[in-house]
Amino acid sequence: MKKFILHNPTILHFGQGVIEDLAKSASKYGQKAIIIYGQGSVKKHGYLDAVINELSKAGISHVEYSGIKSNPVIDDVYKAVEVCKKENIDFIIALGGGSVIDSSKITSLAYASDIDPKDMVLYKAEPTKKVPLLAILTLAATGTEMNPFAVIQLNDKKKKLGFYSPLAYPDESFLDPTLTLTVPADYTAYGIVDLIAHAFEAYFAAGDDNSLNDKFVAAVVREAMEYGPLLVDDLNNLRLREKIMWAATNALNGLLFYGRETDGDWGVHNFAHNISLVFDTPHGATLSIIYPAWMKHFKHRLKYRLELLGYLLFNESLSADQTIEKIEAFFSSLGAPVRMKDIGITSQGDKELLLDQLKYDSPQGFNIEMNNEDYEQILDLAWG
């Protein structure tokens, strides 16, 4: 195993009703908060009122910044930083899914460090400080609630970027599965795909001498495969929401990644971000298309790892092809797309547009490198 340091500073409050811990926690961080949220779901479903109610119990005043879009853009971060400055806030409450929490992470660092957000995510300016960030998660998928990553789009640079800073961990995260009961079937499925894809990114890291982590990967994916389909058919089932929420957090809080030769692979994520950038496709829907295509394309190189994965996930001896087939069939059974046509993208023009973007961005895995020919052949498989 590669040597590693394990340090995850996020305090996690997990379970039904944990929102009631908010007043006590928030009062540690100051007297004035900004609540950052998305395009209205938290208002519609009463989560915003519940948060405001908690803050008022602690005598904490607040301002709001709303409108963060799914596949978030840096422009909103600039606007949120302006509100932070004008209102002189003490801390940030991110209320939403990955898009809101990621935008809030970048806001927290850029505001506190007084640096340009774009320079920061392009690693031209290093953050030195943060304002405290409390994350209240409403969608189980990304793991951002307990990790130091943020993903953001820079449309003028034609980039959807993953950013890392050791300061970007939320200080405290509140994971109440009742807040996820209102997530519709499509985003529920995309969340399940996303968490499985994170486990795969860990699994396809360089080196294969990490048997315990491989078993962690299998445990997380098997959990999602067992309970995910039940949840998609029974969206109001709190017990199932809870299981998927916990699986999603563990898929990308470091547990599956420690000690591997590279920090995962991430080639599929980096490839798939370009689909979101060009077509504004939900993140999980890009992964259910590209993961099987990437596995098929690299199946000779990944033969041993795919066979082992088949055994770990399905408890039987499977070839690489059979393993891929079962994974693709699973994504399909959730109602997630597995070909570009499933998201309404069929034309040759769109394919060329995407290929041009891939050649421009040149997405890579830490383990499996890709070139223009690989992009083209993976796209052929995704077009089906």
Note the residues at the interface with Zn ion (CB under 5 A): 194
**Which of the listed partners (Zn ion, ligand NZQ, none) does 38 bind, with a CB threshold of 5 to 8 Å by partner kind?**
ligand NZQ
Regarding 274 and contact with ligand NZQ (CB under 6 A), the answer is: no
CB of 88 to ligand NZQ, least distance (A): 26
Q: Report the residue from 25, 103, 147, 281 that binds ligand NZQ according to the rule CB under 6 A.
A: 147
Would you give the binding string for ligand NZQ spanning residues 175-204, x where CB under 6 A is met?
A: ----xx-xx---x---x--x----------
Q: Which residues pair with 91 in a beta bridge?
A: 33
In SS3 terms, the chain reads as: CCCCCCCCCCEEEECCCHHHHHHHHHCCCCCEEEEEECCCHHHHCCHHHHHHHHHHHCCCEEEEECCCCCCCEHHHHHHHHHHHHHHCCCEEEEEECHHHHHHHHHHHHHHHHCCCHHHHHCCCCCCCCCCCEEEEECCCCCCHHHCCEEEEEEHHHCEEEEEECHHHCCCEEEECHHHHCCCCHHHHHHHHHHHHHHHHHHHCCCCCCCHHHHHHHHHHHHHHHHHHHHHHCCCCCHHHHHHHHHHHHHHCCCCCCCCCCCCCCCHHHHHHHHHHHHHCCCHHHHHHHHHHHHHHHCCCCCHHHHHHHHHHHHCCCCCHHHHHHHHHHHHHHCCCCCCHHHHCCCCHHHHHHHHHHHHHHCCCCCCCCCCHHHHHHHHHHHHC
Regarding 60 and contact with ligand NZQ (CB under 6 A), the answer is: no
Regarding 139 and contact with ligand NZQ (CB under 6 A), the answer is: yes
- 143, 169, 206, 248 from 254: Cα distances, Å: 10, 12, 16, 12
Q: Which listed range, 15-23, 82-90, 133-141, 295-303, lies at the site for ligand NZQ (CB under 6 A)?
A: 133-141
Tokens of 38: 């998305």
Regarding 285 and contact with ligand NZQ (CB under 6 A), the answer is: no
Regarding 70 and contact with ligand NZQ (CB under 6 A), the answer is: yes
Q: Which listed range, 64-72, 220-228, 344-352, 372-380, lies at the site for ligand NZQ (CB under 6 A)?
A: 64-72
Q: Which listed range, 48-56, 140-148, 205-213, 323-331, lies at the site for ligand NZQ (CB under 6 A)?
A: 140-148
Regarding 286 and contact with ligand NZQ (CB under 6 A), the answer is: no
Q: Choose between 121 and 320: whose C-beta lies nearer to ligand NZQ.
A: 121
Regarding 96 and contact with ligand NZQ (CB under 6 A), the answer is: yes
Q: Choose between 55 and 150: whose C-beta lies nearer to Zn ion.
A: 150
Amino acid at residue number 120: M
How many CA atoms does the CB half-sphere of 110 hold within 13 Å? 29
Q: Do 314 and 346 contact (CB within 8 A), yes or no?
A: no
Q: Choose between 120 and 252: whose C-beta lies nearer to ligand NZQ.
A: 252
Q: Report the residue from 130, 269, 305, 339 that binds ligand NZQ according to the rule CB under 6 A.
A: 269
CA 350 to chain centre: 25
As a whole number of angstroms, the distance between CA 148 and CA 120 comes to 14
Give the angle 78-80-82 at the CA atoms, nearest 5°: 70
CB of 69 to ligand NZQ, least distance (A): 7
Q: Report the residue from 12, 13, 35, 41 that binds ligand NZQ according to the rule CB under 6 A.
A: 41
Regarding 252 and contact with ligand NZQ (CB under 6 A), the answer is: yes
Which residues from 319-358 bind ligand NZQ, rule CB under 6 A?
none
Regarding 27 and contact with ligand NZQ (CB under 6 A), the answer is: no
Q: Report the residue from 100, 134, 251, 318 that binds ligand NZQ according to the rule CB under 6 A.
A: 100
Q: Which listed range, 18-26, 121-129, 143-151, 304-312, lies at the site for ligand NZQ (CB under 6 A)?
A: 143-151
Q: Choose between 130 and 310: whose C-beta lies nearer to ligand NZQ.
A: 130
How long, in residues, is the chain?
A: 384
**Which of the listed partners (Zn ion, ligand NZQ, none) does 141 bind, with a CB threshold of 5 to 8 Å by partner kind?**
ligand NZQ
Q: Choose between 148 and 310: whose C-beta lies nearer to ligand NZQ.
A: 148
CB of 31 to Zn ion, least distance (A): 36
Q: Site residues (CB under 6 A) for ligand NZQ?
A: 38-42, 45, 70-72, 96-100, 102, 138-139, 141-144, 147, 149-151, 179-180, 182-183, 187, 191, 194, 252, 269, 283
